[in-house]
Amino acid sequence: MIHRAQGRTPDQLRKVTIERNHTKHAEGSVLVSFGDTKVLCTASVLDKVPPHKKGSGEGWVTAEYGMLPRATHTRSDREAARGKQTGRTQEIQRLIGRSLRAVVDLKLLGEHTIQVDCDVIQADGGTRTASITGAYVALADAVSWMIAQKKIGQTPIKDAIAAISVGVVGGVPMLDLDYSEDSSCDTDMNVVMTGVGGFVEIQGTAEGTPFSVDELNALLGLAQKGIHELIAVQKLVLGE
């Protein structure tokens, strides 16, 4: 029998907190914690769009992801000093951007860009899922600011979105893996879902033994439960 830290059951999320207005300049600024994983998500509103959207009447939502050098157990090189972002960073920021765009009507956004930055202050597994979950709240705040500023007339947000990791650890499907669980799991899966329960992204990887359809379904069941709870937290902090 696997013992999880803090006596968590296999289907239990870590303590999740979402703090709005964490910094003062951004139109949306959220500090999200999944246990010891802490990510600062800011949403910046820009009155311009990337070239492929110019003149289209549509807006754009995009994301960048970074990790402070000592967010991790041992220090990682600073990407700005190395002169390039790793493949992992690029993969994660593309995932965050796609996930957010899945719940935004780009036409209703008009020719504006919402640029989301997810910067990991402290890492303990699940930084990409915490980023998506927190980024949604920062996005919602930025949209409220745009409406208050009369930059747009109605919200382009179609639904909430959140993400969680699941995995098979020591043969047991588990929800919301921390770093030590993630390092030792057989299968690792990140799931992104909307408020109404549709899948937006499923990324599952067998680190050791390949997984079966049954394991997949068990993991997806856990993920649905976790995301349901995360979206409840989002609604609570947004006062919806």
Q: Which residues contact 215 (CB under 8 A, 6 or more apart)?
A: 168, 173, 187
128 is in an annotated binding site: yes
**Closest distance between its own copies and the C-beta of residue 46, in Å?**
7
HSE-CB for 76 with a 13 A CA cutoff:
18
88 is in an annotated binding site: yes
| Interface with its own copies in residues 85-124 (CB under 8 A) | 85-91, 93-94, 98, 102, 115, 117, 119, 121-123
- Structural contact between residues 135 and 192, judged by C-beta atoms closer than 8 angstroms: no
Alpha-carbon distance 122 to 39, whole Å?
7
126 is in an annotated binding site: yes
14 is in an annotated binding site: no
Tell me how far apart the 2 most distant CA atoms of the chain are, in Å: 59
Name which position in 147, 152, 216, 233 contacts its own copies (CB under 8 A). 216
Q: How many CB atoms lie within 10 A of CB 116?
A: 28
Amino acid identity at 57: G
Q: Is residue 5 near its own copies by the rule CB under 8 A?
A: no
- Structural contact between residues 3 and 9, judged by C-beta atoms closer than 8 angstroms: no
Name which position in 83, 153, 171, 239 contacts its own copies (CB under 8 A). 83
> Which region among 7-15, 62-70, 164-172, 226-234 touches its own copies (by CB under 8 A)?
62-70
Helix (H) or strand (E) holding 160: none
Between residues 89 and 153, which has the closer beta carbon with respect to its own copies?
89
Q: Which residue ranges make up the site for its own copies (CB under 8 A)?
A: 23-26, 29, 36, 38, 40, 42, 44, 46, 64, 66, 68-75, 78-91, 93-94, 98, 102, 115, 117, 119, 121-123, 189, 193-194, 196, 198-206, 209-213, 216-217, 220
